[in-house]
Structure formats: structure tokens, C-alpha cells
């Protein structure tokens, strides 16, 4: 079974996917409107502690989504790797949050709620939305003057469990308790500053809070799948691809890919540092198998035309790295058939073969002995495709990218 999120364009076609997006967008706007978020006075009242509806509605949405995201991920129904998480730029994020906060207080809207107000033809919402568009234009025209700061303090896909070093389930439960405490405090503030009589508030909210705590506790008990768990779920299908040699590509195909300007080919060399220094393909990046998982978040941010080619001396280590990447939902990952040894056997000239080839046949061992560790400064590191006529069966087919590509809420 394909885990969520589903590839809607594949399942429903382009227009079917657009219809789903339109329905979700309309529903989101409708919920904001019925919650009163198209009223700038109601929105601004939160900053004076008179009406905390914004905090309660939005934080409820956040914690409910969080709990069910990690519950479904723990049950194997959702692939969390494919869920968009904004990359963290710490100081630009703090400054941007302060600017947006001041704008929220002054104008009474955030960008999203201004569109809700504009959709109901409220003049203040229309002017705020126009101001947002002007601000976007102004930012685009001036970002070059502070681009270094804009890209500073990059932390990648940095989440609270990583920050605290705690299991995801523990963090989920702590955040739920924090949210409930904030809701309690918000009601106290509304009573003191807004004169709200909380005795008239619906009593079912206590039951909802208790249910949320129970589900969060379930997230803690279920846990989150490790890479080994992910691989175990997909092993029957993927092992068949390995056995059929469907993901091991011929050196000739790799050479053609490297000269295809429509693709971004990322070469991952998982060999030891000594072997890598002896010889490696031009532009290949050394990435030991033990470090592969740490790079997965960055790989998910690569463009849709990225193709990952994993290589070792033969195929053993490359296959292990391939399994890790595939288990973590990195798309378009292939193995160099026969590894670096086969690459050299294919593209090294007769003089090179006579000088450096050995008869060694150890498992995943480099079968060449070099006079000097020149890395990619041998001609075979970047062969000229015009000099070779090779027959092979092309195997690379770009998958629909299901990795996170965009997101966020203004």
C-alpha cells in the first residue's frame, strides 16, 4: 500500500488534483471565516488579551495535526519524510516573525486572514492584501542588499525532537500539555481583560482535551518507525528490483546521464577515504554508508530532476546505501553496475589497465593499484562520451517526486 501523502496527480490527473487543492483551500478559508478571522478587530483583540480565539483555534489546529501526523506515521500510514517542514534559518526567521507580528498588530491581519477578509469584500482586508503584495514586490527588489543575512544561520529541517534530543512521542505529549496550559491561561486572560464569563463556554472542550491527551499518549506508545522498519515494509518489492538488476545502471548509461543537461546527477561514493583518494569519478562526493541517513533531509530538498547514483568498488556497500536511501523515500536512486572497478574496466585505456589493474578479487575491494592517489585527475575519471560506443539497456526513469517541495502558511 502506498503511504500518504498520495501522489494525487498520478491518481486523479492534473485537473483532479487541482480540484482537491481547491477544495482544501476553500475549506481552510471557510473555517477561518466562521471562526471570525475575517474581522480585524477580533484578530487584534488577542494582543490586548481580550479575545484569545486566534490562539485557541490556531493552536488547536496545530496540535491536532501534529498528533495525527505522528500517530499515522507511527502506524505506517503516512511517510513523514514526504511532509513539508520549513527549513530553519534561525535569525532571519526571528526577524521576520517580529516584522510580521508588528504588521499583525498594526493592520489587524496576517496575510492568510487578510485574504479571507478580502474574499468577503471587507475594505481593510483588501487594502491589507494589496499591502502584502506590495511588500512581496519590495522584498524581491531589495533582498540582494541583505542576501547574506537572509541565508544565514541555516539549520535545515530542524525539529523540536532534534533540538531537545527527545523521542518524538515524548515531545508530542509535552506539546499537547503545553497547549492545554496555554488554553487555560488564555481563558483566564479573557476573563480578566475582556470580562468573558467562561462558565458559558461549552463543557465538551474538557472531553476533547482528554481525548487529545489519550491520542498523544498513543503516539508515545506506538513510537516512530526506524529506517529498518521502513525497509522491512518495502523489502519484498525492492528486493525484487535488486534481483532483477532493475536499479543497477551500466557505466555507459551513467556517462550519458552526466552529459544530460536536463538532469542533476548526484554521485555518491560510499567507499573508504583511501580508495576514494586513489581514484574517484569527477564530481563524486564521498559519503560513507554510516553518514548516509544524516544527509537524507538535504537530499529531499534536491530538485525533481535529481538522480542519485551510489557507487562502491563493486556493489555491496553501494547496495546497502541504496537500501537506506530508498527506505527514507529519496527518489531516483540507482547503483553503478559493477561499481568503480567496472567503470575503470569500461573506460580506462589499455596503458592504464596494464599499469594499474591487479588480479585481486576480494569482495568490494578496489582491483587497481595506483602509483599515486590522484583522485579524479586520471582521464578515466571524466571520459569523453564521443570516444565510446557502448550498448546497454537504459534503466533510469524519473519518478514523480513525492518529496516535500513547498509549504507553509502566511
The CATH number for 298's domain is: 3.40.250.10
Instruction: Kindly state the DSSP code that residue 154 receives in the 8-state scheme.
Output: E
* Residues 168 and 160: beta-carbon distance below 8 Å: no
Give me the pLDDT at residue 358, please.
86
3-state helix, strand, coil in the chain (%, to 5): 60, 5, 35
3-class secondary structure, 311:
strand
Confidence of residue 404 (pLDDT cuts 50, 70, 90): low
Among 277-286, 362-371, 377-386, which stretch is predicted with the lowest mean pLDDT? 362-371
249: in domain? yes
Residue 336 sits in which domain range? 228-387
* Residues 266 and 353: beta-carbon distance below 8 Å: no
Cis, peptide link before residue 248, omega less than 30° from 0: no
Angle, CA of 118, 120 and 123, to the nearest 5°: 50
Confidence of residue 10 (pLDDT cuts 50, 70, 90): confident
Could you write out the DSSP letters of every residue in 239-264? HHHHHTTSSEE-HHHHHHHHT-TT-E
80: in domain? no
Grid cell in block for residue 336: 553503478
For the stretch 37-61, pLDDT in tens is 999 999 999 999 999 999 999 999 9
% the chain with pLDDT above 70: 96
Domain count, the chain: 1
Residues in contact with 377: Cβ distance below 8 Å, sequence separation at least 6, in sequence order: none
Give me the pLDDT at residue 360, please.
66
Confidence of residue 12 (pLDDT cuts 50, 70, 90): confident
CA distances from 199 to 187, 188, 194, 236, 244 (A): 11, 12, 14, 58, 68
Identify which of 271, 260, 272, 264 has the alpha carbon closest to the alpha carbon of residue 299. 264
Identify which of 245, 310, 280 has the alpha carbon closest to the alpha carbon of residue 378. 280
For the stretch 249-261, pLDDT in tens is 999 999 999 999 9
Strands 88-89 and 154-156: antiparallel
What distance lies between CA 13 and its chain's CA centroid? 23
Q: For the chain, what is the mean pLDDT?
A: 91
pTM over 0.75: yes
Give me the pLDDT at residue 13, please.
87
Strands 285-286 and 154-156: unpaired
Among 78-82, 143-147, 360-364, which stretch is predicted with the lowest mean pLDDT? 360-364
What distance lies between CA 30 and its chain's CA centroid? 28
* Residues 333 and 270: beta-carbon distance below 8 Å: no
For the stretch 126-139, pLDDT in tens is 999 999 999 999 99
Q: Could you list the beta-strand ranges (E) of 297-376.
A: 306-311, 333-336
362: in domain? yes
Instruction: Kindly state the DSSP code that residue 89 receives in the 8-state scheme.
Output: E
Identify which of 384, 397, 375 has the alpha carbon closest to the alpha carbon of residue 283. 375
Identify which of 60, 58, 35 has the alpha carbon closest to the alpha carbon of residue 209. 60
* Residues 267 and 281: beta-carbon distance below 8 Å: yes
144: in domain? no
For the stretch 183-194, pLDDT in tens is 999 999 999 998
Q: What is the signed CA dihedral for 173, 174, 179, 180, rounded to 10 degrees?
A: 70
Q: What is the rounded radius of gyration, in angstroms, for the C-alpha atoms of the chain?
A: 27
Per-residue pLDDT for 18 more than 70?
yes
- Distance, CA of 384 to CA of 247 (rounded, Å): 24
Confidence of residue 124 (pLDDT cuts 50, 70, 90): very high
171: in domain? no
315: in domain? yes
Residue 336: φ, ψ to 5°? -70, 115
Confidence of residue 152 (pLDDT cuts 50, 70, 90): very high
Give me the pLDDT at residue 406, please.
52
Mean pLDDT of 350-372: 85
* Residues 309 and 267: beta-carbon distance below 8 Å: yes
- 482544501: which residue's cell? 24
Mean pLDDT of 166-175: 96
* Residues 51 and 194: beta-carbon distance below 8 Å: yes
* Residues 38 and 32: beta-carbon distance below 8 Å: yes
Per-residue pLDDT for 163 more than 70?
yes
For the stretch 230-251, pLDDT in tens is 999 999 999 999 999 999 999 9
Give me the pLDDT at residue 225, please.
93
Among 64-73, 75-84, 143-152, 309-318, which stretch is predicted with the lowest mean pLDDT? 75-84
3-class secondary structure, 368:
strand
Confidence of residue 309 (pLDDT cuts 50, 70, 90): very high
Amino acid at each position: 500500500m502506498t503511504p500518504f501523502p498520495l501522489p494525487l496527480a498520478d491518481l486523479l490527473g492534473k485537473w483532479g488534483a487541482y480540484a482537491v487543492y481547491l477544495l482544501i483551500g476553500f475549506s481552510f478559508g471557510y473555517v477561518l471565516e466562521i471562526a471570525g478571522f475575517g474581522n480585524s478587530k477580533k484578530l487584534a483583540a488577542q494582543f490586548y488579551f481580550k479575545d484569545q480565539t486566534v490562539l485557541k483555534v490556531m493552536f488547536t489546529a496545530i496540535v491536532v495535526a501534529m498528533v495525527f501526523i505522528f500517530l499515522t506515521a507511527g502506524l505506517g500510514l503516512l511517510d513523514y519524510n514526504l511532509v513539508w517542514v520549513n527549513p530553519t534559518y534561525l535569525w532571519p526567521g526571528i526577524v521576520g516573525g517580529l516584522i510580521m507580528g508588528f504588521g499583525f498588530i498594526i493592520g489587524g491581519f496576517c496575510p492568510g486572514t487578510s485574504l479571507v477578509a478580502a474574499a468577503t469584500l471587507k475594505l481593510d482586508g483588501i487594502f491589507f492584501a494589496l499591502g502584502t503584495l506590495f511588500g512581496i514586490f519590495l522584498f524581491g527588489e531589495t533582498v540582494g542588499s541583505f542576501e547574506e543575512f537572509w541565508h544565514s544561520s541555516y539549520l535545515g529541517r530542524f525539529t523540536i525532537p532534534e533540538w531537545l534530543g527527545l523521542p518524538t512521542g515524548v515531545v508530542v505529549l509535552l506539546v499537547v500539555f503545553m497547549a492545554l496550559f496555554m488554553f487555560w491561561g488564555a481563558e483566564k486572560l479573557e476573563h480578566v481583560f475582556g470580562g468573558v464569563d467562561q462558565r458559558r463556554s461549552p463543557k465538551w472542550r474538557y472531553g476533547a482535551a482528554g481525548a487529545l491527551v489519550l491520542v498523544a499518549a498513543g503516539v508515545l506508545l506506538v513510537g516512530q518507525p526506524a529506517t529498518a522498519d521502513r525497509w522491512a515494509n518495502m523489502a519484498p518489492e525492492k528486493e525484487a528490483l535488486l534481483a532483477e538488476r532493475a536499479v543497477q545502471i551500466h557505466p555507459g548509461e551513467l556517462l550519458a546521464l552526466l552529459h544530460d543537461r536536463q538532469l542533476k546527477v548526484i554521485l555518491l561514493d560510499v567507499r573508504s577515504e583511501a580508495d576514494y583518494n586513489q581514484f574517484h569519478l569527477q564530481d563524486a562526493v564521498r559519503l560513507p554508508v554510516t553518514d548516509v541517513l544524516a544527509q537524507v533531509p538535504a537530499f529531499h530538498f534536491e530538485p525533481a530532476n535529481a538522480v542519485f547514483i551510489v557507487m562502491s568498488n563493486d556493489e555491496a556497500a553501494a547496495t546497502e546505501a541504496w537500501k537506506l536511501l530508498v527506505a527514507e523515500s529519496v527518489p531516483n536512486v540507482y547503483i553503478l553496475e559493477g561499481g568503480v572497478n567496472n567503470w575503470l574496466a569500461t573506460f580506462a585505456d589499455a596503458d592504464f589497465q596494464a599499469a594499474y589493474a591487479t588480479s585481486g578479487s576480494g569482495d568490494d575491494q578496489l582491483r587497481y593499484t595506483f602509483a599515486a592517489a590522484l583522485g579524479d585527475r586520471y582521464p578515466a575519471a571524466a571520459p569523453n562520451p564521443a570516444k565510446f560506443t557502448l550498448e546497454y539497456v537504459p534503466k533510469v526513469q524519473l519518478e514523480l517526486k513525492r518529496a516535500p517541495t513547498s509549504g507553509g502558511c502566511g
